[in-house]
Amino acid sequence: MDTSKSYVRDGRIQQKPRGNYFLFSFLFGLALAFVIFVPFMIVDGGRFLFYGDFNVQQVPFYRIAHDAIRSGNIGWNHLTDLGVNFIGSYSFYLLGSPFFWLTIPFPGEWLQYLMGPLFILKFGCASLSGYIYLHRYAKNPNTALLASLLYAFSGYSIYNIFFNHFHEAIIVFPLLLAALDEYMYTKRRGIFALMVAAACIVNYYFFVGMVTFTVIYFFVRLLSGSWHITVKDFLLLALEAVLGLGIACILLVPSVLCIIQNYRVSNPISGWSALLYDRNQRYIHILQCLFFPPDLPARPNFTPDSESKWASLGAWLPMFSMAGVIGWMQLKRRHWLKKMLCVLLFMAFIPGLNALFQLMNASYYARWFYMLTLMMAAATMMALENPRVDWRRSLKWTTLITLAMTLVIGLMPTLTKTDGEITDVTFGLEKYPTRFWTYAAIALLSLALVGFVLAFYNRGSRPFYRAASVCLSITIVLYSVFFIALGKTQSDYTYDHIIPYALNGGADVAIDDLRDDNVRTDFYESLDNSAMFWEVQSIQAFHSIVPGSLMEFYDSIGVQRDVASRPDTTHYGLRGLTSVKYLFDDDHDTEYFAGEDYADPAMPGWMYYGNTNGFDIWENEHYIPMGFTYDSYVTEKDYENTSESYRELLMLKGIVLTDKQVSKWGDMLSPLDTSELSYTKETYKTDCENRAKLTCDTFEYTNTGFNATITASRDVPVFFSIPYENGWSAYVNGEKVDIEKVNVGFMAIRVNAGTNVKIEFKYRTPGLFLGMAITVVCVLLFALYMVLMRTIFKEVPVPLARHNMVLRPLSHYAKKHGAHFENSGIIHVKPRSQTDRALEKKEGFDNDD
């Protein structure tokens, strides 16, 4: 290395950058993403559409949240399922994303055209953040640039195009580590606290994994001797972590209070499940994702029975695969990164350790693998800069492993026996052969490209970096385009339904009261979240985070409610209970709601309305407006003794109350004898008619809840099929009244007899004001902390003029290495002796690493 073009940073000799590599890394990533996404955007008329969750969650969620914020309705969102806590339900998906907030100035109609540009921007930012972390450990900025592209366009990143909101975590994670490094190397205060806050705000789920990783990273480096820290500095670092967490509480507290109601979080891993995966194919899947481009989500190919759909199993580094990692690991020396990689790979294969990245939840996910890919990219970068790495050997090992997996999975015979005799022999364990051999070809051809690039290999040489950059760029573009194109083939709805009928917002549906607040809809065997595209209320919803009371209700009537509400037509009583008036049946499939001749509706009481906007429309003759009343009650005990298949029908006969509520409301209701009740389609019609006799005269949602009016000649309970939550408060004619949780998960209040009685429900997001208070306090404490650090303790980093980089005092290196430096701020270091190298290695600053 030419020392005339070098400087020392954190004890390492690094090459002076020519130009702004921070900007260059961003623009390089941006350009590659532009080439990848723009062709698909052109085909889709300026939009970027993929398949599965991206189409039916990310796109409509952005529109729902965008319009809610622009209208100031950030409390209760009635357009999601039967109603949800807006902040608690959408903070996981997008509320903490700065990219989402970039859309707020634009009209809602533009959202479908902004998804592609936002993705391009995200990949550019991921490349930049990767470079910010990696360049500290690179001797040549070009090597760090290559590594940042490996990270930004890794198999994990491309796989999770399917999950648009995962990329925020990919971007912020390197910044969190870079902030920790800055603290440890230069004692620069405050940055770590801000990055902790940013990581937590962006996504609380991924923040859990980042905390786990950062703790491991900290102690591995500490125990490896590459870091040293005093007790005072350790306590100050812990204080910054706490302050950062506190700053994020404005979003964290309401999110936590919402998510703890979800049944999925109370599923801890234990027993043998914490030691061994119950699916042996999963071990192969984990290994495969390191050496091959990623499978499509929901379409596992190499290991079709690994039960790892949507698990985000992707870690392939474009072109280089595991060659650089294996080369780095083969070095016979100690280094913190080798230990870190060993720990992470070991954790990936042990279920209980893997679960540490998601609070020990038993559901299998590998959604922390972006952290692993960053370490793998760092290892590849260091391998390229270390003359002792035997690239020929590492490339040979990588090729042999890749080829072995290809041949074993692609050609393994499977015997079919009938009555003990072999009747058929098939070859290959994969599910989609053509796709499998394409993946294998990409992986093997990439390794051939590595061999080609290494022909130019000479550390620091321009021909090598040019060849590597060109070949890596080609690999990234081709494999990414193939992945996206393959995914788009899985969505036959894009051009014949989503674009013409979903993204038009239902503009052609001419139903006057479709968007009335007291009207809900049902979508039969249709695209998930169809109602969200139109921004109308519906009982069908594909959304993971909903009120616990809603999940409790569905569980009580035998409807599975995990990631979606999809009650089938056997639960026809549910439609009357939840004020469903219209049903939309997609006319592009063969799943007919009433048969091909429209003569036999799957539920009673539905009348054909017409066809428009790609749907056959049906109207519910047994519709009950929102806010209806009861004459009778059923105790919870009698309810639980009733068959699940009849329970929603029972709720139309009498309101389900606890014993305490019976004593409170018994004066205006009569008890029902459940042993004498009949549950037929005829009695269902009668019960709906009885409930519709006395309902609210008006009902409308507001930015703070909803309002209604009712006229009643006697005292009545008024029932609203809106999920119960602690944030609700109710007022009748201006006086506060108690809200009762009835019918398992919904709300009702007592209304005394009167004309035009005014009912007002107000909603305040639970934990929002507490979170805001904690955030304000922690921001003030953080400001005080920064003042103290710069005044009382007077601990300020020593800057180097060049690029505002923070270094150890220059005298430290002048004394140790006989350095001299010029006015430019560049340190010139004399060639190191063996004694110098031994001293650096002892201190953890060996330049070869």
The 3-state secondary structure of 704-747 reads CEEEEEEEECCCEEEEEEEECCCCEEEEECCEEECCEEECCCEE
DSSP 495: I
DSSP 194: H
- Report the length, in residues, of the chain: 849
DSSP 304: T
* Beta bridge pairs of residue 828: 820
- pLDDT given for residue 189 in this prediction: 93
The CA–CA distances, whole Å, from 6 to 48, 131, 212 equal: 44, 19, 36
Amino acid at residue number 57: Q
Query: Which of 536, 555, 558, 557 is CA-nearest to residue 546?
Result: 555
Coil, helix or strand at residue 764: coil
Residue 12 scores a pLDDT above 90: no
Coil, helix or strand at residue 246: helix
Alpha-carbon torsion angle 211, 216, 217, 222, nearest 10: 130
Interatomic CA distance for residues 573 and 557, integer angstroms: 11
Residue 167 scores a pLDDT above 50: yes
Considering only 84-98, 264-278, 373-387, 525-539, which range has the smallest mean pLDDT?
Answer: 264-278
Residue 808 scores a pLDDT above 70: no
Residue-wise pLDDT tens digits, 426-450: 899 999 999 999 999 999 999 999 9
Interatomic CA distance for residues 553 and 346, integer angstroms: 41
Residue-wise pLDDT tens digits, 330-341: 987 789 999 999
Amino acid at residue number 517: D
- pLDDT given for residue 165 in this prediction: 95
Residues 6+ apart with CB under 8 A from 182: 188, 191, 192, 806
Residue-wise pLDDT tens digits, 104-120: 999 999 999 999 999 99
Residue 813 scores a pLDDT above 50: no
Contact 374, 130 (CB under 8 A): yes
Q: Report the interhelical angle of 231-247 vs 768-790 (nearest 10°).
A: 150
DSSP-derived pairing of the beta strands 740-742 and 746-751: antiparallel
Q: Which two tokens stand for residue 498?
A: 């989503």
Please compute the mean of the pLDDT values over residues 127-149 and round it to a whole number.
Answer: 96
CB count within 10 Å of CB 590 equals: 6
Confidence label for 414 from pLDDT (cuts 50, 70 and 90) = confident
Interatomic CA distance for residues 347 and 209, integer angstroms: 13
Q: Report the interhelical angle of 167-186 vs 191-202 (nearest 10°).
A: 170
* Beta bridge pairs of residue 760: 707, 731
DSSP state string for 253-280: HHHHHHHTTSGGGS-B--GGGGTS-S-T
Task: Map out the domains of the chain as residue ranges.
Answer: 3-8+18-263+274-457+469-488, 508-542+562-620, 628-765
Residue-wise pLDDT tens digits, 750-800: 999 999 999 999 999 999 999 999 999 999 999 999 999 988 766 545 444
Interatomic CA distance for residues 247 and 760, integer angstroms: 34
> Which bin fits 556, alpha (ψ -120 to 50), beta or left (φ > 0)?
alpha
Interatomic CA distance for residues 358 and 204, integer angstroms: 10
